[in-house]
């Protein structure tokens, strides 16, 4: 998968390209990340990349011309890559809320260009002209779109086939089945006087699968009932949730 990034702080993306699962995916060539900096397209002596807002008010906006040229340079590079035309995404609190389902949809794209805003954002006419979709990682304001862009990229990259590999497949992730994750345990068996649930030591993989599913259902019911409302539970899930809730009362 090909990612183009438009940002005043391209170095921030090293957090994604030089570390962990995403870093390995880039190193192995399964994912590519290229950056374009609007400052490289600011031709005045001060390399101005911000501009004052019409109508007054606090803060600045990103200057149109350097940003527009950086986006167009990213598009031009994307056009050299095989696959469907790039989808240009702007990260902002005004965008579509990102969730696991949205990440799966974005995974279907061959090329994504992510525009990270700074200051108070960008001119609406540039959004209308250059941006295909606005996305948000949550209802809060960050000082820039870079961390939102990296969040979106990471959640998509880990879904790219063969990035996680079979031993950590993304399907087992919580949210992949619309539920919260079950509790996890590792050595030692007794930790600070607390034991690992016996079922996990039993080696009975069917019992373990059912226990984990029951825990996910129970946790989701307790912590995020809204997620349950969006699900049609099958018979097994309904039975396990009922068991969990009955055990809870004891
Ligand atoms: N929730 C998000 O995805 C998100 C994205 C960006 C961002 N900061 C840059 C910015 C960009 C545009 C308008 C604006 O007000 C702030 N903050 C939060």
- 158 with 214, same domain: the answer is no
Average pLDDT value for residue range 137-145: 98
User: Ligand 1: which atom is nearest the Cα of residue 142?
Assistant: 17
Task: Show the 3-state SS of 199-212.
Answer: HHHCCCHHHHHHHH
How far is 202 from 226, CA to CA, in rounded Å? 33
Residue 77 above 70 pLDDT? yes
> How do beta strands 190-191 and 194-195 pair?
antiparallel
- 232 with 115, same domain: the answer is no
Residue 158: pLDDT band with limits 50, 70, 90: very high
Residue 87 above 70 pLDDT? yes
Instruction: Please tell me whether residue 34 adopts helix, strand or coil conformation.
Output: strand
Per-residue confidence (pLDDT) for residue 250, from 0 to 100 = 64
Per-residue confidence (pLDDT) for residue 176, from 0 to 100 = 75
With beta carbons less than 8 A apart as the criterion, state whether 220 and 179 touch.
yes
- 110 with 210, same domain: the answer is no
Residue 71 above 80 pLDDT? yes
State how many domains the chain has. 2
pLDDT in tens, 179-206: 999 999 999 999 999 999 999 999 999 9
Backbone angles phi, psi at 21, to 5 degrees: -60, -45
How far is 220 from 163, CA to CA, in rounded Å? 28
- 158 with 217, same domain: the answer is no
Per-residue confidence (pLDDT) for residue 171, from 0 to 100 = 67
- Provide the percentage of residues in the chain whose pLDDT is more than 90: 94
* Look-up of token digits 């809320």: 97
Any domain includes 178: no
Any domain includes 161: yes
Residue 7 above 80 pLDDT? yes
Answer with the one of 167, 202, 218 that is the final residue of a domain. Answer: 167
Residue 172 above 70 pLDDT? no
What CATH number corresponds to the domain at position 120? 3.40.1280.10
Answer with the one of 135, 167, 199 that is the final residue of a domain. Answer: 167
- 97 with 209, same domain: the answer is no
Residue 166 above 80 pLDDT? no
Any domain includes 177: no
Ligand 1 pocket check: which of 7, 57, 115, 148 to mutate, most ligand atoms within 8 Å of Cβ? 148
- 100 with 161, same domain: the answer is yes
Residues forming the annotated binding site? 117, 137-142
pLDDT in tens, 118-133: 999 999 999 999 999 9
- 230 with 194, same domain: the answer is yes
What CATH number corresponds to the domain at position 206? 1.10.1270.20
- 96 with 197, same domain: the answer is no
Pick from 109, 110, 71: which is nearest to 90 by CA? 71
Q: Other C-beta atoms within 10 Å of 69: how many?
A: 17
Any domain includes 172: no
pLDDT in tens, 24-50: 999 999 999 999 999 999 999 999 999
- 112 with 219, same domain: the answer is no
- 131 with 220, same domain: the answer is no
Any domain includes 173: no
What is the Å distance from ligand 1's center to 96 Cα?
Answer: 12
Q: The domain containing residue 203 runs over which residues?
A: 190-249
Any domain includes 17: yes
Average pLDDT value for residue range 204-220: 98
The ligand 1 site (C-beta within 6 Å) comprises 91-93, 117, 120-121, 136-138, 140-142, 144-145, 148
- 211 with 120, same domain: the answer is no
- 21 with 86, same domain: the answer is yes
Please list the residues that pair with 6 across neighbouring strands: 36, 115
Any domain includes 140: yes
So which residues are the catalytic ones? 93, 120, 158, 173
Confirm whether the ipTM is greater than 0.95: yes
Any domain includes 136: yes
Give the residue, by CA position, lying nearest to ligand 1 atom 12. Answer: 121
* Sequence-distant (≥ 6) Cβ neighbours of residue 36 within 8 angstroms: 4, 5, 6, 7, 10, 70, 71, 73, 74, 77
């Amino acid at each position: 998968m090909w990612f183009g990034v438009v940002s005043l702080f391209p170095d921030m993306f090293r957090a994604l390209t030089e570390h962990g699962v995403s870093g390995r995916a880039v190193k192995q060539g399964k994912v590519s990340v290229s950056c374009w900096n609007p400052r490289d397209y600011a031709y005045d002596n001060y390399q101005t990349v911000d501009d004052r807002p019409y109508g007054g008010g606090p803060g600045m906006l990103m200057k149109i011309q350097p940003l527009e040229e950086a986006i167009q340079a990213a598009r031009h590079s994307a056009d050299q890559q095989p696959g469907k035309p790039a989808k240009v995404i702007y990260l902002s609190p005004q965008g579509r809320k990102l969730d696991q389902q949205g990440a799966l949809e974005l995974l279907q794209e061959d090329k994504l260009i992510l525009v990270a805003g700074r200051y108070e954002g960008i001119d609406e006419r540039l959004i209308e002209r250059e941006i295909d979709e606005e996305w948000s990682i949550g209802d809060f304001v960050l000082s820039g779109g870079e961390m939102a862009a990296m969040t979106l990229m990471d959640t998509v990259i880990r879904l790219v086939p063969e990035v996680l590999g079979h031993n950590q497949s993304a399907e087992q992730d919580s949210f992949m089945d619309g539920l919260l994750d079950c509790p996890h345990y590792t050595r030692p068996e007794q930790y600070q006087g607390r034991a690992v649930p016996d079922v996990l030591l039993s080696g009975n993989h069917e019992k373990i699968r059912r226990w984990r599913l029951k825990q996910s259902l129970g946790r989701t019911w307790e912590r995020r009932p809204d997620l349950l409302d969006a699900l049609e539970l099958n018979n097994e899930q309904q039975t396990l949730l009922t068991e969990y809730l009955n055990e809870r009362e004891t």
